[in-house]
A = this chain, B = another copy of it.
Amino acid sequence: MIDPRAFAVLATDIAVLTCYGAELKVLLTKAHSKNFKGEPVLPGGLVEFSERTDEAAKRILGDVLKSTVFYTEQLYTFDDPDRDPAGRVVSVAYIMLIPWKDAVRVIKSGASWHSVKDLPRLAYDHNEIIKLAVKRLVGKITYTNIIFNLMPEEFTLTELQDNYEIILGRKLDKRNFRKKLNSLNLLRKLPRRKEGEANRPAHLFSFRQKSIRELAIL
């Protein structure tokens, strides 16, 4: 049944990213494997026989998230023969983006969020995976509307701008930001405001379409 030419174990590791508290955060768990037991790692696991790697990624995260509707994108395949001392494990890494609102639930599962700027040393090549994931995200938010995957259904313009600033790592001009977004017509202004803060209530917005489109945002 198994092809005699098969020697590699197929795995997936997922860089789950979210924005919160002025930081881009990644989800870390503890390794189960003999060699790295208890060390911090990305969530991941083995791919099953009749499963695509993206299905595996969603299945594995499903244990933690109780839901698999989040944006998932293949990142890169890590295949150095020595990346796992236990044997030849080829990992197809994924990025998953989730809004903070949903991210919060995860905390009870033993996994936890860490700022991508202040990471411990992770097992395997997982620091490298995260570095690449962040680079991909930073690149993509400048020429796509991918950021909607990190936003809740309704949000204020300031919240949106905050997330851009967190990911880009620089401040944006409020007026220019709003002018640009207005011209792109990506958002729908809701007939509602975010009340209850000790300041003027902000209008709430939602994305007109929730599909990835290419466009020059910044």
Contact = CB atoms under 8 A, between A and B. Distances in A.
Interface of A: 2-3, 5-10, 46-47, 49-53, 74, 76-77, 79-81, 86-90, 92
Contacts of A49: 7, 81, 88
Contacts of A51: 81
Contacts of A77: 53, 74, 77, 92
A50 B9 contact: no
Contact of A6 (B52, B76, B79, B88): B88
30 contacts: A2-B6, A2-B7, A3-B9, A3-B89, A5-B9, A5-B46, A6-B6, A6-B7, A6-B8, A6-B9, A6-B10, A6-B88, A7-B10, A8-B8, A8-B10, A8-B47, A8-B90, A47-B79, A49-B81, A50-B81, A51-B81, A52-B79, A52-B80, A53-B79, A53-B90, A74-B76, A74-B77, A77-B92, A79-B92, A90-B92
